[in-house]
């Protein structure tokens, strides 16, 4: 599966760990930055990943900042993106199964590397269940769309 990664400076180290994990798991990871721990603005990377996911059907995204909050808010400004902030595997699985989330957001200052990897794996292996959940996901679009 194609997975686009992005992070700001506060999420850089965890993004690097997750990129390596994606390779080990056999996924095609594309790192859209940042590429160092030098201070940058998280919305820039949220927008890059959101646009890449929208342009590549069937792909997923992973975003990391210090808390995961800001980067998830920025990604969710894109119609069609359902970015979910998760810090443990159960939520990551459920957001794929019930919300058809297409971007996983993590906070490097909140979650350890081992738990982050387990959360990523849960996100990647779960599938959208459709059915009643599809109706609900359809209602997420902003008013007027």
Q: Would you name the residues annotated as active-site residues?
A: 65, 98
What are 106's two structure tokens?
Answer: 């993590």
Dihedral of CA atoms 40, 43, 45, 50 in degrees, nearest 10, equals 180
What are 26's two structure tokens?
Answer: 């056999």
Q: Provide the 10 A C-beta neighbour count for residue 2.
A: 15
Pairing of strands 60-65, 103-107: parallel
């Amino acid at each position: 599966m194609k997975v686009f990664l992005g992070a700001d400076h506060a999420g850089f180290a965890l993004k690097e760990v997750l990129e390596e994990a994606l390779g080990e798991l056999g996924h095609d990871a594309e790192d859209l930055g940042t590429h160092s721990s030098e201070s940058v603005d998280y919305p820039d990377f949220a927008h890059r990943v959101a646009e890449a996911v929208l342009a590549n059907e069937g792909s997923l995204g992973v975003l990391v900042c210090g808390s995961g909050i800001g980067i998830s808010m920025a990604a969710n400004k894109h119609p069609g993106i359902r970015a979910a902030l998760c810090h443990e595997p159960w939520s990551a699985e459920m957001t794929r199964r019930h919300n058809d989330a297409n971007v996983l957001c993590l906070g490097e200052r909140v979650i350890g590397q081992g738990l982050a990897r387990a959360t990523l794996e849960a996100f990647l292996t779960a599938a959208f269940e459709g059915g009643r959940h599809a109706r609900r996901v359809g209602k997420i679009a902003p008013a007027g769309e």
